[in-house]
Amino acid sequence: MADRRFHGRRALVTGASRGIGAAVARRLAAEGADVAIVARTLDQHDRLAGSLRETAAGLQAFGGAVAIVPGDLADDADRARLVPEAVAALGGPIDILVNNAAAALYQPLAEFPLKRRRLLFEVNVHAPLDLAQAVVPAMREAGRGWIVNVSSGAARLWAGPPFDVGPTGSAISVYGASKAALNRLTNGLAAELVGTGIRVNAVEPRAAVLSEGARELVGATLRPDQIESMEEMVEAVVALCNCDSAVTGQTVVSLDLIDAWGLTVRGLDGSAP
């Protein structure tokens, strides 16, 4: 049976039409949270499985409030309305913000066009900060809040030469740069908010999590030892959605956090293994 540790809390999860976002939203709802889900895909994507309506249908089984808030995180006008709409739909301010949505475009740097670079930074850097800025005032007033940014190992620098760049090569560099920027903003915002009760952390998978998008991008290039389960990644994310106020400003690795905190990896419905 699922714990109810998030009962009475309102969460907003981006990129929740599929993948990690949909799985995190499910786990939060299973443990009692009211959840607003954000993504572009309301009904059907032209290539990938999953939609906001499908995610919402799964969340409603847990009995809490569910708000569908479609929006394009690359559009600053869309970003500006997401938190107010979620607050109105859930009937109160956001306690937990999970910035999971990401644009992942891989291309050699010598050929990477400016338009695509701007898109990556709009979705992966500006959107998380805009949403954080929108939820912080109410969190500050309440004296508590949790902001979790989903990062990536692609943010790390390669030692070299020679450079061990992995299966994606240098084509992942702009995406990695956007995630490195997200990590730095996570740390800076946490430092700015210390003492308010607002925790701001980032978490990256130790290995690839084969969401629908990741499976299409890199799934065929990975060995089994380069993959971690969706349940493991979600366990780390939701742990940071309930962490003590002393845990802030960190960028952690999913499996390392599970080991360090002695966490039991539960199912997406919160059930024991």
- Give kind and range of the element (H or E) at residue 72: none
| The two structure tokens encoding residue 261 | 């905190």
Place of tokens 């499996």: 255
25, 18 contact by CB (below 8 A): no
Residue type present at position 247? V
Cα dihedral across residues 115, 109, 14, 187: positive or negative = negative
- The yes-or-no answer on residue 106 being catalytic is no
Which pair of tokens denotes residue 215?
């499976």
Q: What is d(CA 243, CA 4) in angstroms, rounded to the nearest whole number? A: 15
Q: Which of 58, 56, 31 lies closest to 42, judged by CA? A: 56
Q: Which two tokens stand for residue 194?
A: 């210390």
| Residue from 37, 175, 199, 202 carrying the catalytic annotation | 175
Active site residues: 175
